[in-house]
Structure 1
Amino acid sequence: MLSLFLVALASASLLPGGSEVWLARQWCQEPAPLALWAVATAGNTLGSLINVALGRYARHFQGRRWFPASPQGLARGERWYRRFGEWSLLLAWAPVVGDPLTVLAGVFRLAWWRTTLWLLVAKGGRYALVLWLADAWLAPYC
């Protein structure tokens, strides 16, 4: 289970990873779906929260010449994020767009508890679906 936690954590960071495949593999070896779901969800949520922290830290560099956003662009982005961005965290599980969305949650300083709640819903839902599919399709082959 430790390996599942670490793979899920790394998969949520800006590093590439495939925690869904690892979860299905673990399910074949020890079918304890609730425990597997909890471990994968916790690891992946923690990994995304690391991205949020990186986004919060990146904001300290906004005065530098190389910072990718102007103060006006940052203010415009923050207004948009306050209006629509919170819901976008439901896509934090998605490849390519999920990790940047979590970084933006940090850049625009969404409250930690709200960020954590959205991430738990998104990540937990995805892993519940993976386990359901594993049970439906992989059970005869395990």
Structure 2
Amino acid sequence: MLEPLEGVLSSYGYPGLFTVSFLASTILPLGSEGFVVFLISRGFNLSAVVLVASIGNFLGACTSYYIGFKGRDYIEKYLRIEPGQIERAERYFSKYGSYVLLFTWLPLIGDALTVVSGILRLKFLIFSVFVFTGKFLRYLAVAYMTGAILL
């Protein structure tokens, strides 16, 4: 019964992973980790899976940064982030600084952190380094755990 679904998911491969990872980091409540685990379990290259997922998720976060950069009107129009989440993210920024961006992969607060970094006009290079590093390390951990389980 699951074989047709597995075939469909496998056929999407890296482009499907990129798309899901991108969307998971923007406006849709998706999780891309399951797709990462699935592809690795089907023999896809572990390094390529981690890199594709990281890049897709990072570029999705860049979209949220841009929306924050454009202002609160864009946030209300394009993102489903509640004002309370934005306020909480602003408090984290004031307490921990840019290092908080290492945790943009966390549910609920992660998207708000990327938006707030845009609102605060954080330098894009700093944003990029912290966000990509955090997302890459998350996917690397998922891939490593998946590989360890499969062995």
Q: CA deviation at 1:5?
A: 0.2
Q: Which residue of 2 aligns with 1:103?
A: 115
The residue aligned with 1:55 is: 68
Aligned equivalent of 2:40: 27
State TM-score, norm by structure 2. 0.75
Cα-to-partner distance string for 1:32-79 (whole Å, 9 max, x where unaligned): 111111100000000001000000011578xxxxxx7xxxxx9xx59x
Which range moved further: 27-36 or 81-90?
81-90
Q: CA RMSD in A?
A: 2.2
TM-score scaled by length of structure 1: 0.80
Distance (whole Å) between structure 2 residues aligned to residue 136 and residue 57 of structure 1: 43
Determine what percentage of the aligned residue pairs are the same residue.
Answer: 29
Counterpart of 2:54? 41
Query: What SS class does the counterpart of residue 13 from structure 1 fall into?
Result: coil
Q: Deviations for 1:6-43, whole angstroms, at most 9, x for unmatched residues?
A: 00000001310110001111111233111111100000
1:136 offset after TM fit, Å? 1.3
1:18 matched to 2:31? The reply is yes
Is the CA contact 1:90–1:118 (under 8 Å) kept in the aligned structure 2?
yes
1:113-132 maps to which residues of 2 (within 5 A)? 113-132=125-144
Matches within 5 A, 1:77-88: 81=93, 84-88=96-100
Count of residues paired in the alignment = 125
5+ residue gaps, structure 1: 62-67, 69-73
Q: Which runs of 5+ in 2 are unaligned?
A: 1-13, 75-82
- Flag the structure with larger Rg: 1
Q: CA deviation at 1:82?
A: 6.2
Query: How many Å separate the matches in 1 of 2:130 and 2:136?
Result: 10
Q: Give the letter for the 1:56 counterpart.
A: F
**Higher relative contact order, chain-length normalized (CA < 8 Å, sep 6+):** 1
Which 4+ residue blocks in structure 1 deviate beyond 2 angstroms? Answer: 80-85
**Structure 2 CA distance, aligned partners of 1:130 and 1:110?**
29
Aligned with 2:29: secondary structure? coil
CA contact 1:11–1:18 (8 Å) conserved in 2: yes
